[in-house]
């Protein structure tokens, strides 16, 4: 079993607002999500660390400039901090795109009201079966069945002509189930049904903790 705790920041883009971004037909996952977490900002300074799911995260602050006005901002968020015998490592992905849009923000912007709101969560399951049959060497035949599980959320914001998305994923598992016959076309008797169950409460809690440590700071010239 493998757990991957992932944080990516994608910035794409009107005025500063703390009102959460409204669902649209283009973001149907917001409208139909069966789960949510509560976003309520927690302020920590760059260089501070938090523990989530037994893993260490470091708080980073990254600058960006609003495309139209040129106003300066910084976004603060946690990234996974990995420690090894001879070195440690962290990485923060950050991108901006120049787009028009209506002012909104799922992320708290310093200087605005510090309210909380529900943030939709996407939970996924997939069943994967592959089979290879050798006509002249059946001992080489192989059939595999596995289950993949994922749990993640997005925080969006629109400032001026700069639109951004902060992405957190706290569950990404690929669970090998078993070897299956290559000519087995009915997988219902092979699957471990527990693998297709809902995520545990603790996994939603981890996702919420990461999301709450995101905030935006307007910077003076």
Residues 73-120 pLDDT 10s: 999 999 999 999 999 999 888 777 899 988 889 999 998 887 789 999
Angle at 107 between CA 23 and CA 157, to 5 degrees: 55
Give the N- to C-terminal CA distance of the chain in Å, as an integer. Answer: 48
Q: Residues 33-55: pLDDT tens digits?
A: 888 999 999 999 999 999 998 89
Stated pTM of the model: 0.80
Instruction: Report phi then psi at 39, rounded to 5.
Output: -90, 120
Band (pLDDT 50/70/90 cuts) for residue 71 is very high
Mean pLDDT on 144-163: 89
In angstroms, the Cα distances linking 83 to 2, 57, 77, 172, 184 are 17, 11, 19, 20, 44
């Amino acid at each position: 079993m493998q757990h991957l705790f992932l944080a990516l920041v994608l910035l794409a883009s009107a005025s500063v607002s703390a009102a959460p971004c409204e669902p649209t037909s283009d973001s149907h996952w917001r409208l139909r999500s069966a789960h949510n977490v509560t976003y309520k900002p927690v302020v920590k300074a760059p260089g501070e660390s938090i523990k989530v799911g037994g893993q260490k995260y470091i708080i980073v602050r990254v600058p960006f400039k609003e495309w139209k006005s040129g106003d300066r901002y910084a976004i603060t968020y946690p990234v996974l901090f990995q420690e090894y015998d001879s070195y440690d490592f962290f990485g923060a992905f950050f991108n901006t795109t120049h787009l028009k849009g209506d002012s909104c923000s799922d992320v708290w912007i310093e200087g605005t009201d510090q309210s909380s709101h529900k943030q939709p969560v996407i939970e996924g399951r997939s069943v994967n079966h592959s089979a290879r049959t050798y006509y002249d060497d059946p001992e080489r035949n192989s059939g595999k069945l596995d289950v993949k599980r994922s749990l993640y959320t997005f925080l969006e914001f629109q400032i001026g002509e700069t639109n951004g998305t902060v992405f957190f994923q706290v569950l990404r598992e690929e669970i090998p189930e078993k070897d299956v016959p290559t000519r087995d076309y009915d997988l219902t008797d092979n699957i471990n049904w527990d693998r297709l169950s809902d995520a545990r409460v603790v996994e939603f809690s981890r996702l919420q903790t990461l999301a709450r440590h995101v905030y935006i700071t307007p910077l003076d010239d």
